[in-house]
């Protein structure tokens, strides 16, 4: 009986332990199966390759996921210079947090496409923020990588990568198998105010697509991207938001109607302060035929309703009114230059059947240059200005000012004619 009692105690203990294992193991397996589609493994494998560490569901901090129906095979994360099949593509989005960084992964349902779309690092002071790059001291370039995506994955910047790898001459040209040195430490994150904008390539025929890379801006902040001739006006082509490191990457295009030898720049605008890229030089070659939705085909010029006293427009000096007139122009990315040129080339004293007065009808002016800095348009004109009387002074000044101020990128105007400020020229007339 004593032996039986011992056997019974051991038996029941063993039975209880077995039941606990049976209940526990399936529960854990079921939680993993339900909360993590199999496709997450593709993301973890890619992250392992990028960081040089073994990343699994047990080593990551956390993850979330959602099933998505993407409009094309880019999975909602198109990469510069890539073409994608325009078909509905089922897949998943995984936000995987590992070593203080949350990675945004996109994986197609069949696992054939895996894209690391971006990342957000832990905020300063967060105990999970890593002291060193999650990629370690070096990174081996994979097929499909570009410098910006590596900078995001490794918690650094493109400029820092370029400085650490001086052999890279073109930030858009890296090769699978190439080993990059990864900057370490907090100093790799640029301080606000050290903004830079770079483009690649730096030359090409009209219509060339350009990759725009910016760094050093405030994190998660809306900025405008513009393009225009060097030392002239620019047109806003996109409004976007910087990432958690204050960086951004975007695509732009040189207009298809520019001439070989022209110089163009891209600009990133924050609070009316522009940061300008290197100069893009337009070369000979067949223009890339691509519809350009950023071209202006219509603009306003301004003319005078004499002695109208503000009945049909803004009242200015001598009891006149300033009246906008919409005109058609050749498609251009520089509408202010086109508007002023249209105005100066009209030699009729009165505009068509409208009876509106053109005070420039007897002048011979041309636009030498327009530079927009911090929202201030600096307009340089040359030629001969002919006035018909004292009342032409406010007419001339109002027309030129308002023609520029109609554009959202301009909030103040300085004008010179043959190098002399317009207000001084008119005051001496």
The rounded distance, in Å, linking the Cα atoms of 59 and 71 is 33
- pLDDT score for 186: 46
* Four-way CATH pick for 40-188: 3.10.350.10, 1.10.3720.10, 3.40.50.970, 3.40.309.10: 3.10.350.10
Going by DSSP bridges, is the β-strand pair 89-98/62-70 parallel, antiparallel, or unpaired?
antiparallel
Residue that has been written with the tokens 């370039």 in this structure: 141
Cα end-to-end distance, the chain, whole Å = 128
Q: What is the pLDDT of residue 50?
A: 82
| 201 upstream amide cis, omega within 30 of 0 | yes
Q: Output the pLDDT for position 22.
A: 36
Please state, in angstroms and rounded to a whole number, the distance separating the CA atoms of residues 61 and 122.
12
**Contact status, residue 204 vs residue 280, Cβ threshold 8 Å:** yes
Average pLDDT (87-110) is: 86
Q: Does domain 196-282 have CATH number 3.40.1280.10?
A: no
Q: What is the mean pLDDT of residues 166-192?
A: 68
Residue 4 — very low, low, confident or very high, per pLDDT cuts 50/70/90?
A: very low
SS3 249: strand
Tokens coding 177: 């198998």
Please say if the pLDDT value at position 399 is more than 90: yes
Question: pLDDT value at position 108?
Answer: 92
What count of other Cβ atoms lies within 10 Å of the Cβ of residue 283? Answer: 14
User: What DSSP element (H or E) covers 200?
Assistant: strand 196-200
CA distance 405 to 225: 19
Helix (H, G, I), strand (E, B) or coil at 272: coil
- Distance, CA of 86 to CA of 70 (rounded, Å): 10
b/e per residue, 355-378, with b = 16+ CB within 10 A? ebbbbbeebebebebbbbeebebb
Query: Binning pLDDT at 50, 70 and 90, where does residue 179 land?
Result: confident
pLDDT tens-digit readout, 206-240? 888 888 988 888 888 888 898 988 877 788 888 88
Percent of the chain clearing pLDDT 90 (strictly above): 23
Report the chain's mean pLDDT, rounded to a whole number: 79
Same fold, 40-188 and 196-282: no
Instruction: State residue 285's pLDDT score.
Output: 81
For residue 129, pLDDT over 70 is answered with no
pLDDT at residue 140 in the model: 83
- For the chain, give the number of residues: 429
Please check the confidence at residue 115 and state whether its pLDDT lies above 80.
Answer: yes
Q: What is the mean pLDDT of residues 262-270?
A: 91
Q: Evaluate if residue 40 carries a pLDDT over 90.
A: yes
Q: pLDDT digit string (tens) for 50-94?
A: 877 889 888 888 888 888 877 677 787 776 556 666 677 888 989
Has residue 6 got a pLDDT over 50?
Answer: no
What are the sequence ranges of the domains in the chain? Answer: 40-188, 196-282, 296-427
Given a cut of 70, whether residue 294 has pLDDT beyond it is: no
The closest alpha carbon to 332, from 356, 298, 379, belongs to: 298
Condensed to tens digits (0 to 9), the pLDDT of residues 354-380 reads 889 999 999 999 999 888 777 788 899
The enclosing H or E element of 298 equals strand 296-305
Query: Looking at residue 247, what is its pLDDT?
Result: 85
Top pLDDT among 300 and 25 is at: 300
pLDDT value, residue 27: 32
Q: Which residue has the tokens 């019974």?
A: 8
Comparing 373 with 252, the larger pLDDT belongs to 252
Q: Which residue has the higher pLDDT, 423 or 153?
A: 423
Q: What is the pLDDT of residue 429?
A: 56
381 vs 232, higher pLDDT: 381
Q: Give alpha helix (H) positions in 107-213.
A: 147-153, 158-164
**What is the model's pLDDT at position 341?**
93
């Amino acid at each position: 009986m004593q032996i039986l009692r011992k056997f019974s105690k051991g038996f029941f203990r063993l039975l209880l332990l077995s039941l606990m294992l049976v209940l526990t193991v399936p529960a854990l397996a079921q939680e993993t199966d339900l909360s993590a589609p199999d496709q997450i493994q593709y993301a973890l494998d890619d992250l392992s390759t990028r960081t040089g560490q073994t990343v699994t569901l047990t080593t990551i901090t956390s993850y979330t996921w959602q099933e998505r129906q993407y409009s094309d095979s880019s999975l909602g994360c198109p990469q510069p210079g890539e073409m994608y099949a325009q078909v509905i593509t089922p897949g998943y989005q995984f936000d995987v947090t590992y070593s203080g960084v949350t990675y945004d992964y996109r994986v197609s349902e069949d696992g054939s496409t895996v894209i690391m779309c971006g990342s957000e690092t832990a905020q300063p002071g967060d105990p999970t923020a890593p002291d060193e790059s999650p990629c370690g001291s070096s990174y081996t370039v994979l097929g499909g990588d570009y410098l910006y995506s590596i900078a995001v994955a490794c918690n650094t910047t493109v400029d820092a990568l370029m400085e650490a790898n001086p052999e890279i001459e073109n930030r858009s040209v890296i090769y699978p198998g190439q080993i990059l040195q990864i900057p370490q430490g907090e100093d790799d994150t640029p301080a606000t105010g050290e903004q830079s904008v770079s483009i690649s390539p730096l030359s090409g025929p009209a219509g060339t697509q350009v990759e725009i890379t910016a760094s050093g801006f405030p994190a998660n902040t809306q900025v405008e991207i513009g393009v225009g001739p060097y030392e002239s006006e620019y047109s806003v082509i996109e409004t976007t938001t910087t990432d958690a490191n204050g960086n951004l990457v975007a695509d732009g295009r040189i207009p298809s109607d520019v001439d070989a030898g022209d110089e163009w720049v891209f600009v990133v605008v924050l609070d009316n302060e522009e940061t300008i890229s290197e100069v893009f030089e337009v070369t000979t070659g067949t223009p890339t035929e691509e519809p350009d939705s950023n071209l202006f085909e219509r603009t306003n010029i301004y003319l005078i309703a004499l002695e109208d006293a503000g009945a049909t427009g803004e009242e200015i000096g001598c009891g006149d009114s300033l009246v906008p007139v919409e005109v058609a122009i050749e498609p251009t990315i520089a509408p202010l230059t086109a508007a002023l040129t249209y105005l100066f080339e009209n030699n009729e004293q009165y505009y068509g059947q409208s009876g509106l007065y053109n005070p420039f009808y007897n002048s011979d002016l041309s636009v030498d240059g327009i530079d927009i800095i911090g929202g201030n348009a600096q307009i340089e004109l040359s030629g001969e200005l002919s006035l018909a009387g004292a009342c032409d002074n406010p007419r001339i000044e109002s027309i030129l000012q308002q023609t520029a101020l109609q554009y959202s990128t301009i909030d103040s105007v300085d004008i010179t004619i043959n190098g002399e400020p317009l207000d001084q020229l008119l005051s001496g007339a």
